[in-house]
Amino acid sequence: MDHHSDIPRALFLSRDSQLVHDERVCSGDLPSRLEGKACPWADRGRFPAGSGRPQSLMSASEASKASDAVLPARLDKPMGRLGDWLDLASGESGVAVLQVFRCRQMFLLVVPGVFAKGRKARRNPDGGA
């Protein structure tokens, strides 16, 4: 995992199964498909603040009121536990139980503090950063 002075707002799963700080991905520094440009939904080159509550985790009434302005990262439905994606045992790492999501740029990520409910992941080789 990359080390930055700021606490990550999200950690992205790279193609080589490493966790990458949101600043590297959202700024356009790392993924070649962003061609060196920041993600248009990024918050000054970072994962949008306040996006830790994905639309899929909101109540039906909250989700119906949400807009792009409210949820700039608009995360996809939960895609299982990070431990399942990385073949980690639950006890191996505290990150193993974090919930995997896919962002608008189709990158897989976890948001610190958002935990999975024990579902198995469906592997998608094209989802990495």
From residue 14, alpha-carbon distances to 51, 86, 110 in Å are 20, 11, 12
In the chain, % of residues over pLDDT 70:
64
pLDDT digits (tens, 9 = 90+) for 21-77: 999 999 999 877 888 999 988 888 999 876 555 544 544 455 444 443 334 566 877
- Confidence at residue 11, expressed as pLDDT on a 0 to 100 scale: 93
Least confident interval from 18-27, 81-90, 98-107, 118-127: 118-127
Q: Is 2 exposed, middle or buried (0-12, 13-18, 19+ CB in 10 A)?
A: middle
Residue 89 has pLDDT above 90, yes or no: no
Q: Could you give the CA distance from residue 47 to residue 22 in angstroms, rounded to a whole number?
A: 6
The answer for 36, left when phi > 0, alpha when psi is -120 to 50, beta otherwise, is left
As a whole number, mean pLDDT of residues 72-94 equals 75
Please report, for the chain, the start and end positions of each structural domain, with discontinuous segments joined by +: 11-115
Give the global pTM: 0.70
> How far is residue 91 CA from its own chain's centroid?
21
Residue 2 or residue 27, greater confidence = 27
In the chain, % of residues over pLDDT 90:
22
User: What ranges make up the beta strands (E) of the chain?
Assistant: 11-13, 19-21, 98-102, 108-115
